[in-house]
Amino acid sequence: MPAFRSTTAHMLRESKEYASQTLMGGLSGFESPIGLDRRDRLQALKSGDIGFVHSWDINTSVDGPGTRMTVFMSGCPLRCQYCQNPDTWKMRDGQPVYLDAMVKKVERYKDLFKATGGGITFSGGESMMQPAFVSRVFRAAKEMGVHTCLDTSGFLGRNYTDDQIDDIDLCLLDVKSGNEETYKEVTGGTLAPTIEFGKRLAAQNKKIWVRFVLVPGLTDSEENVEQVAQICEQFGEAVEHIDVLGFHQLGRPKWHEMRIPYPLEDAKGPSAALKKRVTEQFESHGFVVY
């Protein structure tokens, strides 16, 4: 049996392929571990030496405060009806990226982040499917003085230790429904893990921006919105505000391209009146709403 190869960023330095490791398109500038067999990749994924990444971009005031580097990780256990990125569902569809390459990318932009009050945000997919990689990048970012933000449903919160949570400055927590039945209809998953993770964040004095997607006929009932508000109340002063995000059809072309039946084919976005009602419901509980 051949000896097990440890995964390091230097293992392919002498390879002729190394010079062409730069991934193009949405992963430009990252080094990909070419030549690793399946066993090596699984071990490197478990340790956080590599992460499977869909894409990344630089944006402003979308995925947290200031100018941010948002990294979209591959892999998600939920199947939300309104998902904009079904191409991130399977981890194997992402590109493996070295931890060192990701950290160097953060370092490249650290002065911009500090000047704008920005930082790095991990999104997805569901970044909690790769806790070792994400948490190691966050640890390195914190050592540079860079703000960290996790965009998550919280569904895999038990994957995170309290020490890993400690390196999260802000969580964009998707509370997709207030009751179990609707949550299962929307996502295929269960609601309790989101609540549990939110409480853990609050207990460690982490800031939370709650995100709620308003879909007419699916998540818009007064009862469901009230239950979402009651869940958010359990997080106490950790909740800085609630984002009411109106449903849109921007993700529909991807479902069509991937030949996946799209459950919201004929759904419309919320009217101004509906969004006003939902906003006022949350405000009646004392929340700031955007």
pLDDT tens for the chain, 290 residues: list them: 333 233 333 333 333 333 333 333 356 667 666 566 778 778 888 899 999 999 999 988 789 999 999 999 999 999 999 999 999 999 989 988 999 999 999 999 999 999 999 999 999 999 999 999 999 999 999 999 999 999 999 999 999 999 999 999 999 999 999 999 999 999 999 999 999 999 999 999 999 999 999 999 999 999 999 999 999 999 999 999 999 999 999 999 999 999 999 999 999 999 999 999 999 999 999 999 99
Strand partners, 211: 174, 243
Identify the structural domains of the chain with CATH numbers, from first to last: 51-283 (3.20.20.70)
**pLDDT at residue 19, as a whole number:** 31
- What phi, psi does 148 have (nearest 5°)? -120, 145
b/e map 118-149, b = 16+ CB within 10 Å: bbbbbbbbbbbbbbbbbbbbbbbbbeeebbbb
Q: Supply the pLDDT for residue 37.
A: 72
What is the reported pLDDT for 62? 80
Specify the pLDDT at position 9.
37
Residue 50: count of CB within 10 angstroms of its CB: 29
Separation between Cα atoms, residue 194 and residue 36, nearest integer Å: 35
pLDDT of residue 17: 35
* Alpha carbons 262 and 277: distance in angstroms, whole number: 28
Cα–Cα distance between 74 and 119 in angstroms, integer?
20
Whole-prediction pTM: 0.88
Helices 131-144, 38-47: crossing angle, 10 deg rounding: 50
What is the C-alpha to C-alpha distance for residues 49 and 31, in angstroms, rounded to an integer? 12
d(CA 106, CA 102): 6
For residue 44, give every residue at least 6 positions away whose Cβ sits within 8 Å of its Cβ, in sequence order, or none: 7, 33, 36, 50, 96
H/E run at residue 60: strand 50-60
Contacts of 20 by beta carbon, 8 Å cutoff, 6+ apart: none
Tokens of 178: 């207030």
